[in-house]
A = this chain, B = another copy of it.
């Protein structure tokens, strides 16, 4: 099974992923990459709008990627990497104990004009918690191989 550029349908929304956020993972990630008090310490976080320890936004992005790649592997997605993100919004805090899932929608499919073996897509990824609140939204671009 393989998913090439030609197999991606604009407007189709895929639902997938199940990611349990642990306190240990949140603190480990924050210690290594984002040691701000509200990611590490409950007392410090209580004084902010987070209320208690919340995951680093980069950790949220990385967790969404973990679910995305699991989905890509399941469908044989022929991804070639990404040139970037057009917009990312951290809409709600992600807390230890949360269970996350994704929706992923293809917004645009564009065959490359110079390279016949590939094309680019624009996508909207939304991450939801167990209360069905959207905690993060990402509009991204990526490259996908064509069935040549």
Contacts and interface: CB of A to CB of B under 8 A. Distances in A.
B38 A69 contact: no
Interface in A33-70: 33-36, 38, 48-50, 56-59, 61-63, 65-66, 69
A31 to B, nearest CB: 10
Contacts of A29: 62
Interface of A: 29, 32-36, 38, 48-50, 56-59, 61-63, 65-66, 69, 72-73, 79-90
Interface on chain A toward B: helix, strand, loop, or mixed SS?
Answer: mixed
B32 A81 contact: no
Nearest to A60: B58
B79 A83 contact: no
